[in-house]
Protein backbone atom coordinates (compact mmCIF):
# COMPACT_ATOMS: atom_id res chain seq x y z
CA UNK A 1 0.00 0.00 0.00
CA UNK A 2 1.30 3.50 -0.77
CA UNK A 3 1.62 6.33 1.73
CA UNK A 4 -1.36 7.98 0.06
CA UNK A 5 -3.62 4.97 0.43
CA UNK A 6 -2.68 4.45 4.09
CA UNK A 7 -3.39 8.12 4.76
CA UNK A 8 -6.74 7.73 3.00
CA UNK A 9 -7.52 4.69 5.16
CA UNK A 10 -6.67 6.62 8.34
CA UNK A 11 -8.80 9.56 7.25
CA UNK A 12 -11.71 7.23 6.48
CA UNK A 13 -11.54 5.95 10.08
CA UNK A 14 -11.92 9.54 11.30
CA UNK A 15 -14.76 10.22 8.90
CA UNK A 16 -16.65 7.24 10.30
CA UNK A 17 -15.69 7.22 13.96
CA UNK A 18 -14.41 10.59 15.20
CA UNK A 19 -16.31 12.06 18.14
CA UNK A 20 -17.56 15.05 16.14
CA UNK A 21 -20.34 12.61 15.20
CA UNK A 22 -21.36 11.98 18.81
CA UNK A 23 -24.83 13.28 19.78
CA UNK A 24 -23.39 14.96 22.89
CA UNK A 25 -21.26 17.19 20.66
CA UNK A 26 -24.25 18.03 18.46
CA UNK A 27 -26.06 19.06 21.60
CA UNK A 28 -23.15 21.07 23.00
CA UNK A 29 -22.30 22.89 19.78
CA UNK A 30 -25.94 23.48 18.87
CA UNK A 31 -26.66 25.32 22.14
CA UNK A 32 -28.89 22.60 23.57
CA UNK A 33 -26.89 21.74 26.69
CA UNK A 34 -28.08 23.02 30.05
CA UNK A 35 -25.52 24.91 32.17
CA UNK A 36 -25.05 21.76 34.28
CA UNK A 37 -24.47 19.60 31.19
CA UNK A 38 -21.78 22.07 30.06
CA UNK A 39 -20.24 21.89 33.55
CA UNK A 40 -20.27 18.10 33.49
CA UNK A 41 -18.49 18.18 30.12
CA UNK A 42 -15.84 20.63 31.45
CA UNK A 43 -15.24 18.49 34.57
CA UNK A 44 -14.94 15.23 32.65
CA UNK A 45 -12.93 16.60 29.77
CA UNK A 46 -10.49 17.79 32.43
CA UNK A 47 -9.56 14.14 32.98
CA UNK A 48 -8.55 13.92 29.31
CA UNK A 49 -6.61 17.19 29.45
CA UNK A 50 -4.73 16.04 32.52
CA UNK A 51 -3.87 12.71 30.90
CA UNK A 52 -2.46 14.11 27.64
CA UNK A 53 0.92 15.35 28.97
CA UNK A 54 1.20 12.17 31.05
CA UNK A 55 0.77 9.97 27.99
CA UNK A 56 3.26 12.13 26.09
CA UNK A 57 5.76 11.75 28.93
CA UNK A 58 5.10 7.99 28.89
CA UNK A 59 5.79 8.01 25.16
CA UNK A 60 9.03 9.95 25.49
CA UNK A 61 10.27 7.65 28.25
CA UNK A 62 10.33 4.83 25.66
CA UNK A 63 12.12 6.65 22.85
CA UNK A 64 15.88 6.25 22.42
CA UNK A 65 16.21 8.69 19.52
CA UNK A 66 16.74 12.29 20.75
CA UNK A 67 15.48 13.65 17.43
CA UNK A 68 12.04 12.14 18.08
CA UNK A 69 12.00 13.32 21.68
CA UNK A 70 12.95 16.83 20.53
CA UNK A 71 9.92 16.89 18.23
CA UNK A 72 7.60 15.38 20.81
CA UNK A 73 8.45 17.44 23.86
CA UNK A 74 6.60 20.57 22.66
CA UNK A 75 3.38 18.61 23.25
CA UNK A 76 4.09 18.58 26.97
CA UNK A 77 5.09 22.24 26.90
CA UNK A 78 1.87 23.15 25.06
CA UNK A 79 -0.22 21.71 27.88
CA UNK A 80 1.88 22.37 30.97
CA UNK A 81 3.46 25.67 29.86
CA UNK A 82 5.79 27.67 32.06
CA UNK A 83 5.26 28.80 35.64
CA UNK A 84 4.34 32.35 34.65
CA UNK A 85 2.18 31.89 31.59
CA UNK A 86 0.90 28.30 32.02
CA UNK A 87 -0.35 26.30 29.05
CA UNK A 88 -3.40 24.41 27.89
CA UNK A 89 -4.15 23.10 31.36
CA UNK A 90 -4.40 26.63 32.73
CA UNK A 91 -6.50 27.70 29.75
CA UNK A 92 -8.88 24.80 30.45
CA UNK A 93 -9.32 26.05 34.01
CA UNK A 94 -10.26 29.49 32.62
CA UNK A 95 -13.10 27.75 30.84
CA UNK A 96 -14.02 25.97 34.09
CA UNK A 97 -14.24 29.33 35.89
CA UNK A 98 -16.26 30.86 33.08
CA UNK A 99 -18.93 28.16 33.42
CA UNK A 100 -19.11 28.80 37.17
CA UNK A 101 -16.92 25.98 38.47
CA UNK A 102 -14.24 26.34 41.12
CA UNK A 103 -10.99 25.64 39.20
CA UNK A 104 -9.50 23.91 42.24
CA UNK A 105 -12.45 21.53 42.32
CA UNK A 106 -12.02 20.75 38.60
CA UNK A 107 -8.24 20.35 38.92
CA UNK A 108 -8.73 17.95 41.83
CA UNK A 109 -10.29 15.45 39.40
CA UNK A 110 -13.03 14.71 41.92
CA UNK A 111 -16.39 14.06 40.36
CA UNK A 112 -15.04 12.62 37.12
CA UNK A 113 -17.22 9.76 35.86
CA UNK A 114 -15.83 6.25 36.34
CA UNK A 115 -16.06 5.38 32.63
CA UNK A 116 -14.25 8.60 31.67
CA UNK A 117 -11.41 7.79 34.05
CA UNK A 118 -11.16 4.26 32.69
CA UNK A 119 -11.01 5.57 29.12
CA UNK A 120 -8.27 8.13 29.72
CA UNK A 121 -6.24 5.71 31.84
CA UNK A 122 -6.49 3.19 29.01
CA UNK A 123 -5.03 5.79 26.64
CA UNK A 124 -2.01 6.41 28.89
CA UNK A 125 -1.44 2.66 29.26
CA UNK A 126 -1.81 2.07 25.53
CA UNK A 127 0.87 4.63 24.72
CA UNK A 128 3.13 3.24 27.42
CA UNK A 129 2.76 -0.44 26.49
CA UNK A 130 2.04 -0.84 22.77
CA UNK A 131 4.58 -0.84 19.91
CA UNK A 132 5.82 2.70 19.15
CA UNK A 133 4.05 2.68 15.79
CA UNK A 134 0.73 2.30 17.56
CA UNK A 135 1.66 4.75 20.28
CA UNK A 136 2.24 7.41 17.60
CA UNK A 137 -0.75 6.39 15.48
CA UNK A 138 -3.07 6.72 18.46
CA UNK A 139 -2.38 10.48 18.50
CA UNK A 140 -3.63 10.87 14.92
CA UNK A 141 -7.19 11.68 15.95
CA UNK A 142 -5.68 15.16 16.01
CA UNK A 143 -5.96 15.10 12.22
CA UNK A 144 -9.64 15.72 12.79
CA UNK A 145 -9.44 18.00 15.84
CA UNK A 146 -9.07 21.45 14.19
CA UNK A 147 -12.43 21.03 12.48
CA UNK A 148 -14.19 20.23 15.74
CA UNK A 149 -12.38 23.04 17.56
CA UNK A 150 -13.55 25.53 14.93
CA UNK A 151 -17.09 24.20 15.14
CA UNK A 152 -16.95 24.38 18.94
CA UNK A 153 -15.70 27.97 19.04
CA UNK A 154 -18.42 29.02 16.61
CA UNK A 155 -21.18 27.04 18.36
CA UNK A 156 -20.30 28.08 21.90
CA UNK A 157 -19.93 31.76 20.93
CA UNK A 158 -23.32 31.68 19.22
CA UNK A 159 -25.23 30.00 22.02
CA UNK A 160 -23.74 30.46 25.49
CA UNK A 161 -23.17 33.56 27.59
CA UNK A 162 -19.98 32.23 29.18
CA UNK A 163 -18.29 32.03 25.76
CA UNK A 164 -15.79 34.75 24.88
CA UNK A 165 -12.23 34.85 23.50
CA UNK A 166 -10.75 34.38 26.97
CA UNK A 167 -12.90 31.46 28.10
CA UNK A 168 -12.43 29.72 24.74
CA UNK A 169 -8.70 30.48 24.44
CA UNK A 170 -7.90 26.78 24.91
CA UNK A 171 -9.53 25.86 21.60
CA UNK A 172 -8.19 28.86 19.69
CA UNK A 173 -4.63 27.94 20.71
CA UNK A 174 -5.08 24.31 19.67
CA UNK A 175 -5.84 25.48 16.13
CA UNK A 176 -2.14 26.25 15.67
CA UNK A 177 -0.68 23.59 18.02
CA UNK A 178 -2.46 20.49 16.70
CA UNK A 179 -1.55 20.77 12.99
CA UNK A 180 2.16 21.00 13.83
CA UNK A 181 1.99 17.87 16.04
CA UNK A 182 -0.08 15.86 13.66
CA UNK A 183 2.06 16.66 10.60
CA UNK A 184 5.01 15.05 12.36
CA UNK A 185 3.00 12.10 13.73
CA UNK A 186 1.37 11.37 10.38
CA UNK A 187 4.65 11.47 8.48
CA UNK A 188 6.22 9.17 11.09
CA UNK A 189 3.40 6.64 10.81
CA UNK A 190 3.34 6.71 7.00
CA UNK A 191 7.11 6.13 6.96
CA UNK A 192 7.20 3.37 9.57
CA UNK A 193 4.06 1.43 8.62
CA UNK A 194 5.92 -0.27 5.78
CA UNK A 195 4.24 -3.70 5.75
CA UNK A 196 0.55 -4.65 5.46
CA UNK A 197 0.65 -5.86 9.09
CA UNK A 198 2.01 -2.54 10.30
CA UNK A 199 -0.58 -0.63 8.28
CA UNK A 200 -3.28 -2.66 10.03
CA UNK A 201 -1.64 -1.94 13.39
CA UNK A 202 -1.69 1.81 12.71
CA UNK A 203 -5.37 1.66 11.74
CA UNK A 204 -6.21 -0.38 14.83
CA UNK A 205 -4.48 2.21 17.01
CA UNK A 206 -6.53 5.00 15.49
CA UNK A 207 -9.74 3.03 15.99
CA UNK A 208 -8.74 2.39 19.62
CA UNK A 209 -8.29 6.12 20.10
CA UNK A 210 -11.60 7.06 18.51
CA UNK A 211 -13.13 4.61 20.99
CA UNK A 212 -11.36 6.35 23.90
CA UNK A 213 -12.97 9.62 22.80
CA UNK A 214 -16.40 8.16 22.05
CA UNK A 215 -16.60 6.32 25.36
CA UNK A 216 -16.08 9.57 27.27
CA UNK A 217 -19.08 11.17 25.57
CA UNK A 218 -21.22 8.07 26.02
CA UNK A 219 -20.43 8.29 29.73
CA UNK A 220 -21.46 11.96 29.81
CA UNK A 221 -24.66 11.28 27.94
CA UNK A 222 -25.56 8.37 30.18
CA UNK A 223 -25.00 10.30 33.38
CA UNK A 224 -26.15 13.84 32.57
CA UNK A 225 -28.56 13.70 29.65
CA UNK A 226 -30.49 10.60 30.72
CA UNK A 227 -32.40 11.35 33.94
CA UNK A 228 -31.30 9.94 37.34
CA UNK A 229 -28.25 8.09 36.12
CA UNK A 230 -25.36 9.89 37.88
CA UNK A 231 -23.04 7.22 39.34
CA UNK A 232 -22.05 7.30 43.02
CA UNK A 233 -19.14 9.68 43.67
CA UNK A 234 -19.52 11.55 40.37
CA UNK A 235 -20.19 15.30 40.20
CA UNK A 236 -23.74 16.35 41.04
CA UNK A 237 -25.20 19.71 40.01
CA UNK A 238 -24.59 22.21 42.81
CA UNK A 239 -21.20 20.79 43.78
CA UNK A 240 -17.84 22.42 43.07
CA UNK A 241 -19.22 25.85 42.12
CA UNK A 242 -17.32 29.09 42.61
Q: Which residues in this chain contact ligand PQQ in the complex, by CB under 6 A?
A: 52, 139, 141-142, 145, 148-149, 174, 213
Contacts of 198 (CB under 8 A, 6+ apart): 133, 192
SS3 241: strand
- Residue number with CB closer to ligand PQQ (22 or 113): 22
The residues, ordered by sequence, that sit 6+ positions from 39 with a Cβ below 8 Å of its Cβ are 99, 100, 101, 235, 237
- Coil, strand or helix: which one is 162? coil
CB 106, min distance to ligand PQQ, A: 16
C-alpha to C-alpha distance for 81 and 217, rounded to whole angstroms: 27
Pick 116 or 139: Cβ nearer ligand PQQ: 139
Q: How far is Cα 235 from Cα 239, in angstroms, rounded to an integer?
A: 7
- Please report how close the Cβ of residue 39 comes to ligand PQQ at its closest, in angstroms: 17
109/233 with CB nearer ligand PQQ: 109
Please give the radius of gyration of the chain, using alpha carbons only, rounded to the nearest integer.
Answer: 18
Give the nearest distance from C-beta 118 to ligand PQQ in angstroms: 16
The minimum distance between CB 197 and ligand PQQ, in angstroms, equals 23
Residue closer to ligand PQQ by CB (options 1, 159) is 159
Nearest approach, Cβ of residue 91 and ligand PQQ (Å):
10
Q: Which is nearer to ligand PQQ, 17 or 174 (CB)?
A: 174
Beta bridge partners of 86: 82
Is the distance from CB of 35 to CB of 101 less than 8 angstroms? no
Three-state SS for 101? strand
Cβ of residue 238: shortest distance to ligand PQQ, in angstroms? 26
Nearer to ligand PQQ, 105 or 209 (CB): 209
Amino acid sequence: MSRESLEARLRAIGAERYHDKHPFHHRLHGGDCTPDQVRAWVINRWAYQAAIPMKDAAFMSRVYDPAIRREWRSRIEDHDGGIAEGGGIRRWLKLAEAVGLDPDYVASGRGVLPATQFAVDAYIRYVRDMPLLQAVASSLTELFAPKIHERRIEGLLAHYEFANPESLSYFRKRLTEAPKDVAYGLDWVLTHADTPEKEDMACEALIFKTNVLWAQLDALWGAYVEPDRIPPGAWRPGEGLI
